[in-house]
Amino acid sequence: MDIARTPATPDGNPEMADAATEPHKPAIIKREDYTPFGWVVPEVQIEFELGLELTRVVATLKVERNTAAERTPTIRLNGDGLTVRELQCDGETCEGYMMDGDDLVVTLPGDNHALRIVTEISPAANSQLMGLYASNGMLCTQCEAEGFRRITFFPDRPDVLSTYTVRMSGPKAQFPILLCNGNRTATGEQGENHWAEWHDPWPKPSYLFALVAGDLVARSDSFTTMNGRKVELNVWVRDGDLERTEHAMESLKRSMKWDEETFGREYDLDLFNIVAVSDFNMGAMENKGLNVFNTKYVLADPETATDGDYDGIEGVIGHEYFHNWSGNRITCRDWFQLSLKEGFTVLRDQLFSQDMGSAPVKRIEDVRVLRGVQFPEDSGPLAHPIRPDSYSEINNFYTATVYNKGAEVIRMMRTMAGEERFRAGTDLYFDRHDGEAATCEDFVKSIEDGAGLDLEQFRLWYSQAGTPKVTAKLDHSGETAKLTLKQHVPPTPGQDSKRPMPIPLKIALFDRASGTHRGEELVVLDKAEDTFAFDGFAEAPVLSINRTFSAPITIERSAPREDLVFLAAKDDDPFARYEAMQELMGGHLVAAVSGELGENERIAAQADIARAMGAVLVDESLDDLMRGELMTLPSQSYLAEQMLVADPTRIHEEREALKAFLGKELRDEFHALYDRAEKAPYSLDLASRGARKVKTLVLAFAAASDPAKAVELAAHQYDNADNMTDRQGALMVLTGIDSAERTGRLLDFYNRYEGNALVIDKWFSLQASSLHPNAIEHVKALREHPDFTLKNPNRVRSLYMAFAGTPHHFHSPDGEGYRMIADLILELDPINPQTAARFVPPLGRWRRIEPKRAAMMREQLERIAAAPKLSRDTFEQVTRSLG
């Protein structure tokens, strides 16, 4: 099929700028081509006659000419697979229209009109899970980014803001609960059918429209805002899941309170609904007043959810709630501004989670995600700025760069301004742009004016892709320490040369003898090279740099191992202490993989690492959550990023060898830690969570150094577990060791939780990501399991994304891992292209892998690219990955 979009039209749609000359090649949409839409749509009324197989949609649009746009004789209404059943203009049958591809183009002679459009759709046939679709007998919607056009013809772009009035009707027995955006204004019954009317008084773009109809039950509560508004709260789930919603409800109430106290933002409707859906492409969606969530981020109890699941629920519920202001009340002018809402809201949810739990551990977790996902994105063929310049398929730009790096860029503003002045800037942003479709520049300007900062050069962070590399060198002479910093941003696709960007770096200079420093300082590197002098040091100090990870960069320095051991033991900044441990272990592993270590050097390095790790294990000043972070070895993907060309097999071998060495060298300390942690009773407090964390880490070290002992301990932990964290941690270790205990516990786990989709997802993932040498064969067998389906994104990700995220199996020397993922992409693309496209990036890393494997990865990408009728989502990812 021809998947090229329609060329630009006079009504200002930001369509393709470069014509698609090949039938298979999608259009390129450019940020520079943005123009305002020719019409405003102040009011929308929609009537839904609901059915799983057939839903009738009657949309009435009040349209007025946009005086800020070029006058046009037509209005272009986007559609995707729709057919016009009826079309009226101002109450009369309209003949002046045409179909242009999927879009409806209507001729409108006057300045004000009412368009009535009737469409019919089949939710049950919608396997893409975009628009209105069926999920296990219920109806729900996902409209971001361009799903609304699959429901009715509409100017489906974020800068068209409308108030919505919706009437829903359908069989009461089938759809007893009818939900939509805003406040419910009326209900009634008509024979076997019933209806509900909803009105959202706040203008919103079509991507924030939501509808849910089904057989649901609710956990209900209320929240009184700081100005006295009582808000009804509901978490809607299927019958049988209600007992697992308490944590979600408490997370919502904490989010509402925190946003009032920290950002001064108050909720603005009388009702807030959350609905849990089992078939969902994303984590959750912030639709105004009706948040639709993947069940993964709603349902939890100790028997079925890990500590990580509890954290994820709290963070995602916070994220979607915070969007009420940073995304809904102020939305994006166009999709190039996606980081305006997502980057800011990710920062807000990170700060919220820091305040609700362990701030140091949360910061480390966020940096780990950035380095594990976003840094590889920045150094690969899919690199793009946090505000992209062009795209073919917007779904492909819901990336770690837009979200996570976007959050880090705003965090840097906060670091330079300080919390109080940053809050003044955000207050100004909310005041200036409430009710608008804004841009990233609007946000930066508000912070600049409100906080009193000069951010002219800082704006480069929005337009330049790539992770800056900063070289740090500390020299000492007399009583002066001089820190010389150099920055370089590597070339990325379409950006060969980069300008220096302001990089705020928190540093401290430690006195080696006392183990203390005289205070943290903030230096801003805004040149290609600069030197900072610090007086009063009779002896050379030890440098602690990029404390709290104050900038999303990589630091390159030649720190002596003794300095890293010192910082790993004595740095008072938890992140810097963690970083010293990572640098100590990572430097050794990279050198070992690269063949740069002689035997004597290996022995000395391992001894230093063991000394630092031993200090961590017995340090009584550490809580176990932080201890667990310091015990964690650098990931295989992080280590690969430190090399120009990586050999995944060698990385895995050397990492396991270090783990085995530490497990043997520190056996007594590890087991003493395990024995202490095992006594901790189950609770969700930080101490108990930390105890569970270090127990699983000790099992992992034992698995590498003494597999028989690891099997014994893990089987005991599994059998006696009273919570999912301990049970899953034990099973994770057992899945990697070929033993009778492995087989028996996997079978027990499945039988114990059969029918619980979220826990069975864990069962699939544990096997797909295990250290077992036959993991590829296990994945193939699981693909044929009766519980596996390509129609549920959670299940697909649980098996195949877990596998693709395990480098030593995905990069199997015979190329079988690459073929398996390519086969999946080709099979999944016709069913759910958005999910299929997300499996392309692991193959796209071929340039950073040793030549033999790189050739096989590229071969699979070429095979996918040659497939007929490839979706726009997958085609863009594959062609960009090939370069």
Asked if the peptide bond before residue 145 counts as cis, ω within 30 degrees of 0, the response is yes
Sheet containing 103-107: order of strands: 74-77, 103-107, 97-100
Interval 247-266 mean pLDDT? 98
Interatomic CA distance for residues 725 and 693, integer angstroms = 8
Q: Write down the pLDDT at residue 8.
A: 31
In the chain, CATH 2.60.40.1840 sits at: 469-558
pLDDT-based confidence at residue 5 (cuts at 50, 70, 90):
very low
DSSP letters of 148-204? GGGTS-B--STT--EEEEEEEEEETTT--EEEESSEEEEEEEETTEEEEEEEEEEEE
Residue 265 has pLDDT above 90, yes or no: yes
Interval 618-635 mean pLDDT? 97
Interatomic CA distance for residues 348 and 346, integer angstroms = 5
Segment 753-769, tens digit of pLDDT: 999 999 999 999 999 99
Instruction: Supply 239's token pair.
Output: 């019958």
Interatomic CA distance for residues 550 and 261, integer angstroms = 24
Residue 749 has pLDDT above 60, yes or no: yes
**Residue among 557, 531, 553 nearest 544 (CA):** 557
In the chain, CATH 1.10.390.10 sits at: 331-463
Burial of 86 per CB tally in 10 Å (0-12, 13-18, 19+): exposed
Cβ 377 vs Cβ 401: under 8 Å: yes
**Residue among 830, 832, 823 nearest 804 (CA):** 823
Of 144, 197, 286, 320, the active-site residue reads 320
Interval 36-63 mean pLDDT? 98
**Average pLDDT over the chain, rounded to whole?**
96
**Residue among 406, 403, 422 nearest 414 (CA):** 422
Which residues lie across from 256 on neighbouring strands? Answer: none
The upper half-sphere exposure of residue 558, i.e. CA atoms within 13 Å in the direction of its Cβ, equals: 3
Tell me, what DSSP letter sits at residue 711?
H
Helix (H) or strand (E) holding 331: strand 331-332
Q: Write down the pLDDT at residue 285.
A: 98
CATH architecture, range 331-463: Orthogonal Bundle (1.10)
Segment 305-322, tens digit of pLDDT: 999 999 999 999 999 999
In the chain, CATH 3.30.2010.30 sits at: 218-301
Interatomic CA distance for residues 868 and 604, integer angstroms = 57
Burial of 486 per CB tally in 10 Å (0-12, 13-18, 19+): middle
CATH architecture, range 218-301: 2-Layer Sandwich (3.30)
CATH architecture, range 469-558: Sandwich (2.60)
Residue 155 has pLDDT above 90, yes or no: yes
Longest Cα separation, the chain: 92
CA 89 to chain centre: 43
Q: Could you tell me the CATH superfamily of domain 754-883?
A: Peptidase M1, alanyl aminopeptidase, C-terminal domain (1.25.50.10)
Residue 13 has pLDDT above 60, yes or no: no
CA dihedral (449, 451, 452, 457) in degrees, to 10, reads -80
Tell me, what DSSP letter sits at residue 646?
B
The upper half-sphere exposure of residue 251, i.e. CA atoms within 13 Å in the direction of its Cβ, equals: 29
Cβ 440 vs Cβ 462: under 8 Å: yes
Interval 439-467 mean pLDDT? 98
Cβ 659 vs Cβ 705: under 8 Å: yes
Residue 6 has pLDDT above 60, yes or no: no
Q: Could you tell me the CATH superfamily of domain 42-121+131-215?
A: tricorn interacting facor f3 domain (2.60.40.1730)
pLDDT-based confidence at residue 26 (cuts at 50, 70, 90):
confident
Interatomic CA distance for residues 611 and 580, integer angstroms = 13
Q: Write down the pLDDT at residue 24.
A: 59
Cβ 662 vs Cβ 673: under 8 Å: no
Backbone conformation region of residue 658, classed left if phi is above 0, alpha if psi is from -120 to 50, else beta: alpha
Segment 782-828, tens digit of pLDDT: 999 999 999 999 999 999 999 999 999 999 999 999 999 999 999 99
Q: Write down the pLDDT at residue 45.
A: 98
Burial of 427 per CB tally in 10 Å (0-12, 13-18, 19+): middle
The β-bridge relationship of strands 554-556 and 469-477 is parallel
In the chain, CATH 2.60.40.1730 sits at: 42-121+131-215
Interval 78-83 mean pLDDT? 98
- Tell me, yes or no, if 599 is annotated catalytic: no
The β-bridge relationship of strands 230-237 and 271-277 is parallel
Which residues lie across from 186 on neighbouring strands? Answer: 197
Interval 18-33 mean pLDDT? 70
In the chain, CATH 1.25.50.10 sits at: 754-883
Tell me, what DSSP letter sits at residue 682?
P
Q: Which residue has the tokens 């009340």?
A: 329
Interatomic CA distance for residues 198 and 178, integer angstroms = 10
Residue 16 has pLDDT above 50, yes or no: no
Interatomic CA distance for residues 748 and 737, integer angstroms = 17
